[in-house]
Structure 1
Amino acid sequence: MSATYEVKDGIAVVTMDSPPVNSLGIGNRRFIAQSMHEAQGDPAVRAIVLTGRGRAFCGGADIREFNLPEATMAPDLIDVINLIEASEKPVVAAVHSIVMGGGLELAMGCHYRVVQTGTMVSLPEVRIGILPGASGTQRLPRLIGLEAALNMIVTGNTVMSEVLAAMPGQKLFDRIVDKDVVDAATAFARDIADKRPLPRVRDLRVEHPAPEAYLQFARNMVAASSKNYPAPLRCLDCVVQSTRMRFDDALAYERAAVTELVWTKESAALRNAFFAERAASKIPDVPEDTPKREVKSVGVIGAGTMGGGISMNFLNAGIPVKILEMKQEALDRGVATIKKNYEAQVKKGKLKQDKYDQRMALLSTTLSYDDLKDCDLIIEAVFEELGVKEKVFNELDRVAKPGAILASN
């Protein structure tokens, strides 16, 4: 970690630098706390800018520390956020690229937030079976409203900074910029350095015309969709307290709820799946400097359920796909299934019509192995019988171009 603390013309710029996403492990937490103390004690510092170097402002908690001593070592994230919020000098978050989980909670603890367009914003904790446990369930409703905040917290969905900045009455972002966000935040900090009193999210009220009626409706919806997972309903419970309890009491409620969820079997399973997916994307014995192979076209052998699903994954990524079958009827059935799946997404509003059209335009079919000769990657998805697969690869050995990747489903 090569984090930096610099003072430029009265503005202290505090920059996290722990690739890939500046997660809030014990190292970054201590660095931020130390920087805050240093800035408070320096009479030359009028305001503070907090940011992260690289491809993210902050990707949130370091979940590798879960259930380890480092997770609770002082200062914890709530300590850091409280330290920022209690600062006698204004703290401006310079948010860019990715701000998620504890990173968003950190930004919400600052007095002001300047964000760059194109920033992805989320509180995804529910997806690993827990909830935002460092004041997220209390701060976000105060900044973007009860309904929008509850939706983000319960689903874990990502929302773009432009969408949030355009919400009527939102207080999450004080300024949105296209240019270098650190320069913009530094200029903003200089402009407001002497402005008092400092705005604190904890002092805001959660605004809603009929909170109790809405929350009962939301509870019915969340209960119906969350099935046997406890985290979504516990997220809702915490957001409910943002409308009923004093801020510090609601924080204690949130803290107890996240501690409870961390030890559930559902959370353990979801975290295990998260790490497994990350591990599956890495091949330990492949050198880091191995050049990447570009895949511009894909052949899929078999138009059944597996072949169709594989094809859709590549179409979703914008890569042309050619499906091979032995009979036209099988091809027609396979293409019809793909179209049906996409049309269902369009009907539900999950896919725009133009995206559907683009994906279908990338799909072609053939009855001849010879038409796969230019594919960079060819995947067989045929019947699970060794003799059938041997026949497929004998044909591919004949037609595939040198260097083509041959894969078996």
Structure 2
Amino acid sequence: MTQVVSSETRDGIAVICIDNPPVNAASFAVRKGLVEQIEAFEADTLAKVAVLIGAGRTFVAGADIREFGKPPEAPILPDVVSRIENCAKPVVAVIHGTAFGGGLELALGAHYRIALPNAQIGLPEVKLGIIPGAGGTQRLPRLAGIEAALDIATSGAPIGSGKALALGIVDTISDEGDPKAAGLKFAKELAATGGSIRPTGGLPAPKLDSAVAERFRHKLSKSARGQIAPLRCLDAVLASATLPIEDGLKQERDIFIELMNSPQREGLIHAFLSERQVAKLPEIEGITPRKIAKIGVVGGGTMGCGIAVSALLNGLHVTLIERDEDGVSRARIGLERILGGSVTRGKLTADKRDAMLEKQFAYSTDYSALGQADLVVEAVFESMEVKKEVFEQLDQHCRPGAILASNTSYLDVNEIAQFTSRPGDVLGLHFFSPAHIMKLLEVVVADKTAPDVVATGFALAKTLRKIPVRAGVCDGFIGNRILNTYRTHADHMVLDGADPYQIDRALVAAGFAMGPFAVSDLAGLDIGWATRQRLAPTRDPRERIAKFADAMCEQGWFGAKTGRGFYLHGTDTPRGTPNPEVLPLIDADRAERGITPRAFADEEIVNRYMAAMVNEAAKVVGEGIALRPLDVDVVLLNGYGFPRHLGGPLHYADQIGVKVMLERVESYATEDAYFWTPAPLLQELADEGGKFADLNTLEKGTSHA
């Protein structure tokens, strides 16, 4: 059996290797093994220098997520790092792949650091609601200075080996081909020159620049709205400039423990783990996906171009179909504008863009150009008649075995599948705009979708580096169905007296990226208008529909695209300027209904908005549209700006208490019993004292419907 941490000594150099696949996580076994090997090295009179490396594709990528939430076992990581730093003989860490979180802290405990050219380092703990807890906030500033340490630790973003060298975090970048060779070469030179230990914690404290500290505090108060960890991380890093290393390490650990016990840490780790769990589905376990190398995209609008760019950037060949040459010309302009933006931002070189367009991409007005496509995504106007025309053409021209996918946001994928002679090859692939940036992809499974087609949808998402979530068929699937409900209640609150701008402000303060009315402006008010018109013939007469929203669209105010919606969007207009003509339309709607407006506190706005979201989400899970609560959470987190530190709406409901959430729904139902019909699943869990988290494990062939 392979030791998790092993050592071999050659020519006076002890090579200590961490071998804990797949990413050498700093588990209990790794920590224990490191202490044992460092002590053995220190006692070995023949060994002069130790080299610390990781086996496989990376150094140490961070903590072991399997230990999250469990009591820590000694030796804990801070003690391991200190043991390495206090070793009486030099220790050299060789970083390849990634050294994130605890991995970087281990390297900081070494006396010397080498990086291979591909290496990346970072302290991503704030993304999990905590701070580095093994000396990262105290040792990193002593090497790189306060400003660089704040930038790395409070953002959680990684940096490459070149920047790490420039900042003094690593001593050199090796041109050797593997970590062991790089470490041996450096260690032999170090031994030959009589190199001594060089504890990072023993370096002088960094200088404190109050202007830098205030700039970061101001920036984080805006960018980390509602989050505790980034600002507490700032406090810890700043302490490195004013406290001796022992006191700084103690303060860091105290903050780390404080945050480990916070609900935000639970929410962020739930989000982290759910995004890794969401693609693990019994129905596709062991199913081989179909090969996807060439795709077609029908429709060259904003969404079609975004899907095409996403595919191109990830190595797929793309053929884009438009109805006529004018459409092709517009699509070409749109697609080249998106790629040009990537070049401008340094994400893509001009040469690579040009090669991509020449070798991987083609336009056509003829569906026969899709004859060799492995998968085609339809991204045309949201009309069933238009989609019928497209899918009949695809059925005629696409080869047998090609997958036919619709990017519809709301429409019935079962009905779309009936426009073909091969419904088993049809599924929904609901991308989110901008499709080349947004990570979420709803994989919509129709009644007759074949299992290998479902598996292929998930495989494609992996190729495109997106987070796939399985959704069943209903109006709006998971995300847009829930969105339609809580967005509708925002309109209800406006009718009853709330100011739309107060609602936006209250929800931004609660941690949402944007308020619902600002989001509507950005997406286009005409989208909601079209949906309301489509559903009007089957609408229950008890449903309250805000006429002011339709009145705005009748004025031609579609939001950002027309320069006017709930807000003004002129080039000379400050961002977030309310449209003064909206409130009179709202007043007229209230007057027609005989509503006397009342005041809403911000807390009530947030509670109602969340309750509407949770109640509809519970219906979506209860009906099997989403298989698990975590699927809902991942959709709302990645597609709808839900505050990540709250973990998603159903994790949030568990934190608040399912019974409390039901009581809120029932109290609001006294005003509008139709809208606030409690979800049966919410009622069931409240009665049984259960949680949504109890439903996150699936057995093969089961759902919670």
TM-score by length of 1: 0.87
Aligned-pair identity in percent equals 37
Partner Cα separation in structure 2 for residue 296 and residue 15 of structure 1: 39
Summarize deviations over 1:81-122 as a string: whole Å, max 9, x none: 011111112111122122211111101101111221111222
Match of 2:306 among 281, 306, 309: 309
Aligned partners of 1:265, 1:338: CA distance in 2, in Å? 43
Give the Å deviation of 1:397. 3.4
Match of 2:369 among 368, 371, 375: 371
> Deviation string for 1:291-342 (max 9, x for gaps)?
7755332112344554343323212213232233446666655555545545
1:212 to 188, 203, 210: 210
Q: How does 1:1-400 map to 2 (within 5 A)?
A: 2-3=3-4, 4-69=6-71, 72-165=72-165, 167=166, 170-174=168-172, 176-193=174-191, 195=194, 197-208=196-207, 211-282=209-280, 294-326=291-323, 336-344=333-341, 353-354=350-351, 357=354, 362-382=360-380, 392-400=390-398
Closer/same/farther in 2, CA of residues 341 and 256 from structure 1, 3 Å limit? farther
The SS at the match of 2:63 is coil
The residue type paired with residue 223 of structure 2 is: S
Whether contact under 8 Å (2:18, 2:24) holds in the other structure is: yes
Give the distance between the partners of 1:248 and 1:383, measured in 2 at CA. Answer: 63
Contact 2:50–2:187 at 8 Å: present in 1 too?
yes
Contact 1:141 1:148 in 2 (8 A): yes
Which string of whole-angstrom CA distances, capped at 9 and with x for unpartnered residues, describes residues 231-278 of structure 1? 222221211111111112111221222223333333333322222222
* Unmatched tracts of structure 2, length 5 or more: 406-427, 430-705
Conserved? CA contact 1:115–1:177, under 8 Å: no
Q: Supply the distance in 1 between the matched residues of 2:198 and 2:139 (Cα, whole angstroms).
A: 13
Shift of 1:352: 5.2
Q: Is the 8 A contact 2:299 2:379 kept in 1?
A: yes
Deviations 1:375-402 (A, max 9, x none): 2222234566777666654443332234
Closer, same or farther: CA 374–175 of 1 in aligned 2, 3 Å: closer
The separation in 1 between residues aligned to 2:289 and 2:3, in whole angstroms, is 28
CA contact (8 A) 2:174 2:182 kept: no
RMSD over equivalenced CA pairs, Å: 2.9
Name the SS for the 1:22 alignment partner.
Answer: coil
Residue identity in the other structure for 2:36: Q
Q: 1:277 to 1:374 in 2, by over 3 A?
A: same
CA contact (8 A) 1:112 1:173 kept: yes
Q: Which is greater in Rg?
A: 2
Following superposition, the deviation at residue 21 of structure 1 comes to 0.7
What is the CA deviation profile of residues 3-62 of structure 1, one whole-angstrom value per residue up to 9, with x for unaligned ones? Answer: 322122222211111111100011111111111122222223222111110010111111
Q: Secondary structure at the match of 1:309?
A: helix
Q: Compared with structure 1, are the counterparts of its residues 248 and 327 closer, same or farther at alpha carbon in structure 2 (3 Å cutoff)?
A: farther
Amino acid at match of 1:320: H
Partner letter of residue 145 of structure 2? G
Q: Which moved more, 1:99-108 or 1:172-181?
A: 172-181
1:104, 1:121 within 8 Å by CA — same for their partners in 2? yes
Deviation of the 1:403 alpha carbon: 4.0
Deviates more, 1:326-335 or 1:393-402: 326-335
* 3-state DSSP of counterpart to 2:215: helix
Bigger mean CA offset, 347-356 vs 392-401: 347-356
Amino acid at match of 2:82: N
Q: Distance in 2 between matches of 1:299 and 1:63?
A: 39
Cα distance in 2 for residues equivalent to 1:39 and 1:350: 44
1:150 CA drift (Å): 1.8
Distance 2:338 2:126 in 1: 27
Q: Distance in 1 between matches of 2:325 and 2:3?
A: 60
- The answer to whether the 8 A contact 2:377-2:404 is kept is yes
Task: Please say which of residues 399-408 and 92-101 is displaced more in the overlay.
Answer: 399-408
Deviations 1:116-166 (A, max 9, x none): 11112222222223222211111112222222222122222222112322x
Asked whether the equivalents of residues 89 and 193 of structure 1 are also in contact (C-alpha less than 8 Å), the reply is no
Q: Name whichever of 272-281 and 324-333 sits farther off.
A: 324-333
Of 38-47 and 9-18, deviating more is 38-47
C-alpha contact 2:140 2:169 (8 A) present in aligned 1: no
Letter aligned with residue 269 of structure 1? G
1:5–1:239 CA distance, 2 compared to 1 (3 A): same
Cα offsets for 1:359-383 (capped at 9, x unmatched):
5554443333221111222223456
Question: Could you tell me how far apart the structure 1 residues matched to 2:362 and 2:269 are?
Answer: 39
Q: Is the 8 A contact 1:5 1:35 kept in 2?
A: yes
Distance 1:274 1:11, change over 3 A: same
Give the direction of change, closer, same or farther, for the CA distance of 1:111–1:117 in structure 2 (3 Å limit): same
Distance 2:153 2:354 in 1: 32
**Relative contact order higher in (CA < 8 Å, ≥ 6 apart):** 1
Q: Is the alpha carbon distance of 1:9 and 1:66 closer, same or farther for their aligned partners in structure 2, counting shifts above 3 Å?
A: same
1-structure distance, mates of 2:227, 2:337: 30
Whole-Å Cα distance in 2 between the matches of residues 87 and 39 of structure 1? Answer: 9
Cα pair distance change 1:268/1:390, threshold 3 Å: farther
Paired residues of 2:114 and 2:183 also in contact (CA < 8 A): yes
Please say which of residues 104-113 and 351-360 is displaced more in the overlay: 351-360
Gaps of 5+ in 1: none
Greater displacement, 342-351 / 12-21: 342-351
Whole-Å separation in 2 of the counterparts to 1:179 and 1:348: 31
Number of aligned residues: 403
Tell me how far 1:205 sits from its aligned partner: 2.5
CA distance in 1, matches of 2:267, 2:382: 30
Following TM superposition, by how much is the alpha carbon of 1:68 offset from its aligned partner in structure 2, in angstroms? 1.1
Residues 292 and 118 (structure 1 numbering): CA distance in 2 closer, same or farther, change over 3 Å? farther
Contact 2:296 2:320 in 1 (8 A): yes
